[in-house]
Structure 1
Amino acid sequence: MGDSPRTFRLAHASRGATVDPGSLPLPCAVTRDWAWGSATGAGVRICLIDSGVDTSHAGFTRPITTLTVSDDDVVPDDLGDQAGHGTACAGVIRAVAPDCELTSVRVLGGGLHGRGEALLAALEWAIERRFPLVNLSLSTRRAEHKEALHDLVDRAYFAGVTVVASAHNRPVRSYPWHFPSVISVGSHDLDVADRIEYNPDPPAEFFARGIGVEVPLPGGGTSRLTGNSFATPHITGFCARVLQRHPGFATGQLKHVLAAIADNRT
């Protein structure tokens, strides 16, 4: 990180654009109080598909179910987080929606390497179990997985499963965040945890805090990390708050609410 908050070089990051409120027709006033009020995500199930979670970290005061993909089956995980990425994302989700019901499915190992088949198996498992929210702070550039991922996120969309997907940190084409059936997320650089920006120039649809985010580390302690990966669980946590207040909202409705309460609407 540089000395100035404007020195980051993430692709798909906010450039401070504002949005005309008239571009988003609303049947009634949508405020944050209406959207989630005092909700904390209680009772909302979230599936975090990532590198696993170190559940022994003192920052996790509520249970987290930890699973992994083995031979394309989802089974209990006894290895834990070898990369730190999933633990960091879980920390952000729990900071935003502390009372959500969080399940981790590990598909990445050390160095954040993993098989596309494992990602597909984990996502299909989450859809079959109708998790209202799936956090994907990852993507793939492999063309051989593009169609299968597209089919799965479309299936999720029609099943009432909202996939919140991270835009790539570099200006490359990757998936599934490019698909319109997911909520795609990039970063803004403001040190405001609850700030949401709506992007008038997608494919990244929303920006959340992703620069210098304080996150838990495996083995204890915290660090400040930067990337669209850490903006994405902010949006997932906000969606969990909305779903506690308005159970049954689907992806389209969640997108509409997030856009309506975005801080850059003038």
Structure 2
Amino acid sequence: MKRWLWLGLGLSGLVASGCGSDPKPEPVVLPQACPGTAEASLPSTAVSALSTSPNTAPDGVIITYKPKVTASALAASADIVKAVERVGGTVKRRIPNLNMVSARLSPEAITALKANPDVLSVTPNRRVRAMALPTPPPLASWQGAFSTQGSVGEYTEGLKLVQAPQVWDANNDGIIDPGAATGEGVKVCVIDSGWDSKHPELKAAFLKGKDFVDDDDDPTDQSVSPKGEVTVGGGHGTHVSATILAQLGSGSGARVAPGEDPNGVVGVAPGASLLVARVLDTDGGGRTDDVIAAVDWCNSEGARVASLSLGAPDPSEDEQTVFEKVWNNGNGMLSVAASGNDGKRGIAYPAAYLPSVMAVGAVDLQGTIADFSQYGQELSVVGPGVNVLSATVLGAASLSQVTAASVPVTSRPLTYTAQGTYTGRLVNCGLGADRAACGEAATCEGFVAYVDRGDLFFEEKARNVIQAGARAIIIGDNVEDEGPGFTLGSANPHWVPTVSVSMASGAALKGLVGQEVTVSISGLDYQRESGTSMATPHVSGVAALVFSARPDLSAAHVRAVLEKTAQDDKTTPGVDERYGHGLVQAAKAVALARTLPQGGGPLPLP
């Protein structure tokens, strides 16, 4: 039985008004949320934000202090921790060898700490974000230790665009050439959202990991709520890692989309070793102090390349300090970072820190600059960043099927949708503006909600119809050509299978209201994504190949080699702000590196 909730007026609002007075407005009524659906009203990100103390900045500050000649790094760190606690702050992270701690402090405590003679600076612990864009998922149903043999079908378009197979499979027979540079002996550290330890593309390459989000040694791309609910991330870090070093022939049996190789994919440097530093949560967000600590950790573990498909619009002096330190440490660690996805002039940070970080822009699979790729004078090179196929968390990518009146309807799953199959009556919920939008046809026993696109975010529409009892959702587009994929905004364990359909299909579905419709969401182990996030690991992989061919080279030499051998954009010859030095080219880079004298000699001129 449907239950209703009166809002806005007490009982007095139902009594007729006195003669001559204005009539009372009708009460606003909404159906009561169905049992068990209240949690869908707030995603986990909103819940955590509400729990933050109003007297402190949610992300805190980074404190850089003066090293003490008479004390060890740990002792000096302990002293500054005591100073923070004396002014009522709470220390989150210590980075002793960089003379830094991060903490949460009230504004008054920050002022007091800045006056401390041992404190050099107190700066915001700014937010960073993953640099990927929503990408249309596949439209049809799926097919159902380092190997040296696989299938040339694993060679993705991006892989071939950067010449990687020419380095380690010159005759294109699907077998690694003996003695070829594959990245073997090179540690690549992926600073991102973590990884899927069960994915066959990455297991053999993994060496070690650290989770800077949860402060443990398990950098799995997931979070666990206080209630024990597990939220799996979007697979950003797994996608990036596999682009660099997915193993040849290792994906047999994985779930792939139609037309894709059943063996999965192979990375640019399939012989490299993987270090994983998790700094992004399941919603793709992170903090500067975790990035700083991760870069320091990667360097301490012997990484030659750090790949960062993340960034922020503004610089951080503390962050720049750590990149400069690892760049100048011996032969240095080469840091490669995404330029950003806002399509504007101005490179994101850390990519814009010259010369310690290589800024990478994105091109499509024809080598044309992507319209979302940020550009500027700091841009080093570009890599494939549009519709890049790579691995993701097992089953995290989604493939949808909709059947109405026994007829299949082409559909796309929304990002963060739940998986599963549901069959129920189709109910027209209009724009899904509130729980009453589905009308009397809604029932807590379940139904399939049809919702038109417009006015509200998709996650708001989804929450409203779920609370009205929907067990699956179909969103109809309001333009002829469906856009670049829809999203529910963030992970939420209370979402239901949710898909989008074209405007024409939506109109046809409205004529089937009341009939049974089936919505099915299946899991995939590989997906296509776009963004400078996807371009960055292509460049990181090429750097690993060069280090593998010439381990004696410095980070500065490898950067110079990649820039000198990049394929120039023919429309704007020479170095420019949109393409930098051009599209990175692995075979040319390895060939040039092998001609350099021992130790590299003078840097190759661009």
Query: TM-score, structure 1 length as denominator?
Result: 0.76
Change in 2 beyond 3 A, CA 1:108/1:190: same
Counterpart-to-counterpart distance in 2, 1:208 and 1:42: 22
Match of 1:24 in 2: none
Matched, 1:214 2:357: no
**Residue 175 of structure 1, aligned match among 341, 349, 370:** 349
Counterpart-to-counterpart distance in 2, 1:38 and 1:256: 22
**Residue 245 of structure 1, aligned match among 545, 549, 563:** 549
Q: CA deviation at 1:175?
A: 1.1
Match of 2:377 in 1: 202
**Unpaired segments ≥5 residues, structure 1:** 3-31, 193-199
Q: CA deviation at 1:135?
A: 0.6
Counterpart-to-counterpart distance in 2, 1:155 and 1:78: 24
**More moved, 114-123 vs 58-67:** 58-67
AA paired with 2:379? A
Matched, 1:150 2:320: yes
**Residue 68 of structure 1, aligned match among 211, 216, 233:** 211
Instruction: Report runs of 4+ in structure 1 exceeding 4 Å deviation.
Output: none
- Check whether the contact 1:164–1:183 (CA below 8 A) recurs between aligned residues: yes
**Higher relative CO (CA 8 A, sep ≥ 6), structure 1 or 2?**
1
Change in 2 beyond 3 A, CA 1:86/1:250: same
Match of 1:93 in 2: 244
Q: CA deviation at 1:201?
A: 6.2
Counterpart-to-counterpart distance in 1, 2:559 and 2:553: 10
- Check whether the contact 2:219–2:278 (CA below 8 A) recurs between aligned residues: no
How many pairs align? 224
Matched, 1:40 2:182: yes
Change in 2 beyond 3 A, CA 1:76/1:201: closer
**Residue 201 of structure 2, aligned match among 18, 36, 59:** 59
Query: TM-score, structure 2 length as denominator?
Result: 0.35
Q: CA deviation at 1:265?
A: 7.2
**Deviation sequence 1:194-235 (CA, Å, 0-9, x none):** xxxxxx963111001111100112124211110000110111
**Deviation sequence 1:21-80 (CA, Å, 0-9, x none):** xxxxxxxxxxx87xxx93110010111110001021233352313321157x6x411643
- Check whether the contact 1:165–1:176 (CA below 8 A) recurs between aligned residues: yes
Match of 1:114 in 2: 286
**Residue 184 of structure 1, aligned match among 359, 374, 383:** 359
Match of 2:18 in 1: none
AA paired with 2:529? L
Counterpart-to-counterpart distance in 1, 2:304 and 2:220: 26
Change in 2 beyond 3 A, CA 1:58/1:127: closer
**More moved, 54-63 vs 232-241:** 54-63
Counterpart-to-counterpart distance in 2, 1:45 and 1:99: 10
Change in 2 beyond 3 A, CA 1:38/1:265: farther
Counterpart-to-counterpart distance in 2, 1:182 and 1:78: 24
Counterpart-to-counterpart distance in 2, 1:110 and 1:135: 19
2:348 counterpart SS class = coil
Q: CA deviation at 1:174?
A: 2.8
**Residue 228 of structure 1, aligned match among 523, 529, 532:** 532
**Deviation sequence 1:124-154 (CA, Å, 0-9, x none):** 21223331111111112355xx101111111
**More moved, 56-65 vs 219-228:** 56-65
**Residue 80 of structure 1, aligned match among 202, 218, 221:** 221
AA paired with 1:178? A
AA paired with 1:55? S
- Higher helix content, 1 or 2: 1
Q: CA deviation at 1:156?
A: 1.3
1:96 counterpart SS class = coil
AA paired with 1:69? F
Q: CA deviation at 1:173?
A: 5.0
**Unpaired segments ≥5 residues, structure 2:** 1-134, 137-165, 168-178, 223-232, 246-266, 368-374, 396-524, 571-606
AA paired with 1:158? N
Change in 2 beyond 3 A, CA 1:70/1:138: closer
Counterpart-to-counterpart distance in 1, 2:221 and 2:209: 8
1:52 counterpart SS class = coil
Counterpart-to-counterpart distance in 1, 2:533 and 2:560: 22
AA paired with 1:58? P
